Structure 1
Amino acid sequence: MRRLFVTRPGDEGLPGPQRRLAMLVMVLGTLMSVLDNGIVNIALPTLAQELAVSESRAVWVTNVYQLVCAALLLGFAALSRLIGRRRLYLGGLALFVLASLCCALSRSFEWLVASRMLQGIGAAAMLSIGPSMYRLIFPSRLLGSAIGMGALVVAFGIAFGPSLGGIILHFASWPWLFAINVPLGLLALILGIRALPSETIESRGFDWLGALLSASMLSGFVFSLDHIGHGARGTSAWLPLLLSVLCLVLFVWRQRRANAPLVPLPMFRATRFSIAAMISLMAFVAQGITFVGLPFMFQTVMGATPLEAAMLFTPWPLALMLIGPLSGRLADRFNPTLISSLGLAIFLLGMLSLVTLTAESGAVSIAWRAVLCGVGYGLFQAPNNREMIGSVALTYSANASGVLASVRTFGQALGTASVGLMLALSWGSLSYALWLGCASVVVALALSVWRIPLARAKA
């Protein structure tokens, strides 16, 4: 850790002391963005009760954040080339802090959802360029270690977000779930103004039409799912879905003709990249389903308190945090598609075991299932990400990172919307949502096994 801040002759990036402050800003920004989702997931049953809305509507407190974030990641990544990464990051951080305050002051469900939308915009601005900021802060000799530290922060946030949310709800009311971001965010903003580096801004254009089409196609699809789940039929149900498909067609058409496309389509000609992106999407759909569905199951079916639900949930992300670094090292030594396929197989076993949970299941019974899911997902994620980023030309690596972030966030949003759909249909059990998650993992595993010879041929 200390060597990250030691300056040597010829180092690019920032000098040691400024590098330390800039790293702290990145850690705080990333941690707030990731923690915020886990903190809120565990509180959804409480929010539904206190704001007097149905559980299916309460899911949108999480879903709108994920959806807005996913819809804007590609656009913000491209916009950073026009206004500079420093300005975009600080602007996103300031908006996130302001939106957190608005969430804490919310007194109605509609106000809270609108504030969460603003939070999603701020988070998208930070997350879209977070990894690339490390290239401005650290010299190339330390870039891998710095990015690895950032990945560890993400894992930490995923692991302890639900636990922190349960602890806050145990001692305080739900507005404090959001108020905690305000002092941390202000500290990060003050340090960021002082420490984050500036850069030369490129004089290239921005594909505003592509950004609008990208956001519309992603949001329209999930919005259609929600409408169908709440009983909409006919035009009101299918029009958003048709518009989403139309925006997808227009987006592809636009990217083929734009001078500065948001997503260079030639990189999808790499079969390994396209398959890895699809596998990642299906896996994150399953994760999104379980991360939202399990808190509801623990609290509404098993009668656990928010704090107890957080403790029951924690073994999964904790196992992921411990296994993730090991899987990354294994992927450097062995075929990453083999490692990720093994991880998906274990993840599938864990998902299938979750379906068998009942209202009488004890803590130990829940814990080993959660650990199995965490181990499997931890083995899968890093090798698949390595396969995805490493299978495209170097000139497309930044764009591939943007696609990876978008796929991750949209997959989680789609999983969350699926839980809302199941709850709205009143099918009587969250097991239907978990079965849908299992089916998603089956598709991901089949694709992962199929691509193994492709990776061997390129080795």
Structure 2
Amino acid sequence: MSPGTPLAGAQGKAPPDGLPTPRRYYAAATVLTGMSLSVLDATIANVALPTIAADLNSPPSAAVWVINAYNLAVVTMLLPMSAVAERIGFRRMFTIGLALFTLASLGCAVSGSLLQLSLARMVQGIGAATLMCMFGGLVRNIYPTHMLGRGISINATTVALMSVLGPTLGSFILSVAHWRWIFAVNLPIGVLLMMGLRFLPEVQRNTARMDYVSALLSMAALGCFISGVDSLAQDVLRSLGLVAVAILAGLLLVRRSWGQTAPLVPIDLLRIRPVAFAVMASACTFAAQMSSYVSLPFYFEHVLGRPHLEVGLLMAAWPLGTGLIAPAAGFLSDRYSAAVLSGVGAGAMVLGLLWLVLSPLDASNARIMAGMFVTGVGFGFFQTPNNRAMLSGAPRQRSGAAGGLQATTRVFGQSFGTALVAIAFSLSAAHGPSLGLMAAACCASLAIVVNSVRIARKIGQPGA
């Protein structure tokens, strides 16, 4: 059977439109908790790096691999794991991912050296990728179509809050317990989540043979690209070499996938115009988000002279805005064009970022928080309708691939945004934070352009 074999059940009866209540609530709670764990662990260990380095007798530069190992595993495994999920079923794949993540968390907690910890974090990242690649597809099959926007808004709010709460929760755990508890806290939650697995939906499976060559090419392309852009500010030649390898692997991957019905890299979904536009716009806004998140602490401390405590309070205004607007964005996205709503959200992001960059050095905290709040509102208003367009534009039997594409786009955009900030700081240490925020505004502006093209092509059509 070739990699291009059609999906199983594609000609059978149509799948149910969402889960009935109360099963829908239990399934949603299981997915949200799993999402919280995987997103939290991407940042929760950041604040513990100095403590970990000292306790394990390792240099701080080597301790960074506690973070890098996790992130690289996530970004390289998202697409292969989404392909596996379509073949063995979402429920079974979620079980595997949760078990892998929980056992790796135990491995992190008992590690006796930095090498052991980094290897355990890599396995934990594979488990997280196994979970992340299914979130979009699970949401698509948990909620009925008329409630899909609201379901996505709940997920978007969860991701936004967990992304920011990671360092805060890590600091709290360090203040009351040993650093090993940063990882050990996942164990009881993982065991509890096992009880919710039976409520998850089953989706039509893809009976095509797994394309292992495409999986390896995908891992090489994404892994080399992310590593290349991350090292651009430190070693230009090494960075260019890695990016060149990534481009070559990517071209070979596209050529191999072009004629397949359900390829590992979902080129078939990118041929669907609403999905393609949603992917481009999402990459731009997540690049803007991460450029902002990395630049803002430096901007508040070094440019505006704010102390650590105030920086934390100022940063909190962004997720607050995202969380408050998400329900309204979900309600509207079930009724109006994704292009219009996402364009408005991206515009609000640009407005908020420019507000921050152009603020005087003696700006009040209220003024700064207002700019952060507007930016967060824009980000939240963008995400739900855009994610809805990406997920609902794909055939339901390809919801696993759509979820993997959504997660990969997010990680790709965030990695590119981080690289932009690194370049900004390499150009000017003094003006690096301001340049990073300007880069974020430019990325959000590109999202406006993408949505303007969407509107021009299919004005007034929901999901356009």
- TM-score > 0.5 by shorter chain: yes
CA apart distance, 1:97: 2.0
Counterpart of 2:443 in structure 1 is 440
CA apart distance, 1:127: 1.5
Counterpart of 2:190 in structure 1 is 185
In 2, distance between residues paired with 1:173 and 1:431? 37
What do the CA deviations read for 1:224-243 (whole angstroms, capped 9, x no partner)? Answer: 1233322353xx34221111
Matched letter for residue 225 of structure 1? V
1:431/1:46 Cα in 2 relative to 1: closer, same or farther (>3 Å)? farther
In 2, distance between residues paired with 1:103 and 1:172? 15
1:369 lines up with 2:376 in the alignment: no
What do the CA deviations read for 1:64-109 (whole angstroms, capped 9, x no partner)? Answer: 5344323222211110133332232122112222333344455766
CA apart distance, 1:182: 2.4
Counterpart of 1:92 in structure 2 is 97
2:123 corresponds to which of 112, 118, 129: 118
Q: Which structure 2 segments of 5+ residues have no match?
A: 1-15
Would the aligned equivalents of 2:153 and 2:329 in 1 still touch at CA under 8 Å? Answer: no
3-state secondary structure, aligned to 2:42: helix
CA apart distance, 1:139: 7.9
3-state secondary structure, aligned to 1:333: coil
In 2, distance between residues paired with 1:320 and 1:376? 7
What do the CA deviations read for 1:30-71 (whole angstroms, capped 9, x no partner)? Answer: 1111223353456678878996535xx877655553443232
In 1, distance between residues paired with 2:178 and 2:301? 17
After TM superposition, the structure 1 stretch with the greater mean CA deviation from structure 2, 160-169 or 222-231, is 160-169
Counterpart of 2:6 in structure 1 is none
Matched letter for residue 132 of structure 1? G
3-state secondary structure, aligned to 2:258: helix
Matched letter for residue 128 of structure 1? C
How many residues are paired up? 443
CA apart distance, 1:452: 1.5
Alignment of 1:73-152 (within 5 A): 73-105=78-110, 112-133=117-138, 149-152=154-157
Counterpart of 2:255 in structure 1 is 253
Counterpart of 1:7 in structure 2 is none
TM-score, normalised with respect to structure 1: 0.81
1:454 corresponds to which of 453, 457, 460: 457
In 2, distance between residues paired with 1:13 and 1:341? 28
RMSD, matched Cα: 3.8
3-state secondary structure, aligned to 1:229: coil
Would the aligned equivalents of 2:135 and 2:403 in 1 still touch at CA under 8 Å? Answer: no
In 1, distance between residues paired with 2:298 and 2:59? 16
Would the aligned equivalents of 1:344 and 1:444 in 2 still touch at CA under 8 Å? Answer: yes
In 2, distance between residues paired with 1:313 and 1:353? 15
Matched letter for residue 218 of structure 2? S
Counterpart of 2:290 in structure 1 is 288
Matched letter for residue 443 of structure 1? L
Would the aligned equivalents of 1:160 and 1:314 in 2 still touch at CA under 8 Å? Answer: no
In 1, distance between residues paired with 2:417 and 2:89? 33
Would the aligned equivalents of 2:290 and 2:414 in 1 still touch at CA under 8 Å? Answer: yes
In 2, distance between residues paired with 1:12 and 1:271? 23
CA apart distance, 1:438: 2.0
1:329/1:46 Cα in 2 relative to 1: closer, same or farther (>3 Å)? farther
In 1, distance between residues paired with 2:68 and 2:360? 26
TM-score, normalised with respect to structure 2: 0.80
1:348 lines up with 2:353 in the alignment: no
Would the aligned equivalents of 1:59 and 1:417 in 2 still touch at CA under 8 Å? Answer: no
1:253/1:49 Cα in 2 relative to 1: closer, same or farther (>3 Å)? same
What do the CA deviations read for 1:322-374 (whole angstroms, capped 9, x no partner)? Answer: 11221232233333322221211110122223335788765434322211210
Alignment of 1:269-288 (within 5 A): 269-288=271-290
How high is the sequence identity, in percent, across the aligned residues?
A: 37
Would the aligned equivalents of 1:338 and 1:452 in 2 still touch at CA under 8 Å? Answer: yes
